[in-house]
Chains A and B, each alone.
Chain A
């Protein structure tokens, strides 16, 4: 029997992530929402969801003693990071006046800016980037299985990741300019959008995660 742990760091809505995993999990698969480092460390795979602001996320991880186990998981087993969970992987975020992050993936998280404009039309774009945008799969990955190229996923964010090594970017979207929609490195897969809110394509991504061995 396999287990997937959803990291609960006290920020609220993990219900949807757990429900989506339960929907696609094979019989006998256990989905646990937990803040217990032991349970996270012993799970077969881990989802690190993102809600709220980055400073609270990093702060709560530290307060609950979860930082080390996240680092261990990031080196050892399939890890899926969502939204702020993706942003937390980088070195630093501009959010909350500047917040040091986990530094697992080199790079920075930057604000969209107050005068974001469409590169072609010049039209002013609203921030947060909220709604269904197309995700272009920059390269093949087991996690993209059965998800059509340029499928739409649901985004809501005001900051976006700029990894130092562009080679880790496996999905992009366009909002003003090209932005990082998905990162993959070894056993880590991270998405800026919310698969649990992205209807069929999102559920497929969770199903793919439960079947992924953490290797490409």
Chain B
């Protein structure tokens, strides 16, 4: 099958600077978004995702400038998430050069927002981000619920049902993060990835927990994901995107080299 599975580096951006939270607590500063995006593009990244973690809404304009600067130099798809709450937020990001926006908490608060966004801009640019935590015991069949506020707030909503509903509302893609694995480097929760990917017709991006190149490959082969997202293993130079792709190709996965 010639469509390539995608590798997507994720950059957490706070006030215009790239940082990476480990389990959302420890933050390390590591650079300029334009320079890092260019480096990932040169390494063969298939897309780049920016997560705006800026706390103050006063500084939201900073992210628009970041997107504008990156889009002028990097010609691969760009996704922006974090703080997307209104149709106007989406319009500004798309006009600045983003190709997709990812909606998380705002979808949980008001699911119709996803419908409005997809109707206005097309499903192809609406990604719904789902943060899921396993709530079933080890010896039970997997069951996951969605959490908001960086994994701190339970909602009681079943993650697989939620993914289905979001696709009905117009999500063109699902960005699925395991809150149990995020920041642990223990690999994706592939039971979660598989459950969601098999339940929805749209592409699923696996996220949360990548520590090795095999973890990335397993997201595709065991998790049935269409794309894999990682931050720290690329960000701190542990591996390049090209190394990751060569490894996946050696595992028999179609990639863009």
Residues of B within 8 A of A134 (CB): 2
Residues of B within 8 A of A154 (CB): 76-77
Residues of A within 8 A of B68 (CB): 15
User: How many residues from A make CB contacts under 8 Å with B?
Assistant: 40
Residues of A within 8 A of B41 (CB): 199
Cβ of A59 within 8 Å of any chain B Cβ, yes or no, is no
Cβ of A133 within 8 Å of any chain B Cβ, yes or no, is yes
B39 CB → nearest A CB, Å? 14
Cβ of B6 within 8 Å of any chain A Cβ, yes or no, is yes
Would you list which residues of chain B between 45 and 103 have a CB under 8 Å from chain A? 46, 68, 71-72, 75-77, 91, 94-99
With beta carbons under 8 angstroms apart, the residue of B3, B91, B173 that contacts A12 is B91
Query: In the complex, what residue of chain B is closest to A130 when comparing beta carbons?
Result: B203
| CB atoms of A196 and B75 under 8 A apart | yes
Q: How long is the Cα–Cα vector from A121 to B2 in the complex, in angstroms? A: 12
Q: How long is the Cα–Cα vector from A52 to B46 in the complex, in angstroms? A: 22
| CB atoms of A197 and B122 under 8 A apart | no
| CB atoms of A129 and B97 under 8 A apart | no
Q: Give 1 or 0 for each of A119-161: 1 = CB within 8 Å of chain B CB.
A: 0110101111111111000000000000000001010111000
| CB atoms of B227 and A131 under 8 A apart | yes
Query: In the complex, what residue of chain B is closest to A120 when comparing beta carbons?
Result: B1
User: How many residues from B make CB contacts under 8 Å with A?
Assistant: 35
With beta carbons under 8 angstroms apart, the residue of B5, B72, B75, B125 that contacts A203 is B75
Would you list which residues of chain B between 215 and 257 have a CB under 8 Å from chain A? 226-227, 256
| CB atoms of A126 and B121 under 8 A apart | no
Query: In the complex, what residue of chain B is closest to A156 when comparing beta carbons?
Result: B124
| CB atoms of A197 and B77 under 8 A apart | yes
| CB atoms of B97 and A16 under 8 A apart | yes
Q: Give 1 or 0 for each of A47-60: 1 = CB within 8 Å of chain B CB.
A: 00001110000000
Query: In the complex, what residue of chain A is closest to B5 when comparing beta carbons?
Result: A131
| CB atoms of A132 and B46 under 8 A apart | yes
- Given A13-B97, A152-B256, A199-B76: A53 and B122 within 8 A (CB)? yes
Cβ of B150 within 8 Å of any chain A Cβ, yes or no, is no
With beta carbons under 8 angstroms apart, the residue of A53, A118, A126, A133 that contacts B203 is A126
26 A-B interface contacts by CB (under 8 A)? A12-B95, A13-B95, A13-B98, A13-B99, A13-B125, A15-B71, A15-B95, A15-B96, A19-B72, A118-B1, A125-B3, A126-B204, A128-B124, A129-B3, A130-B172, A131-B3, A131-B4, A131-B5, A131-B203, A131-B227, A132-B4, A132-B46, A156-B172, A157-B124, A175-B2, A197-B99
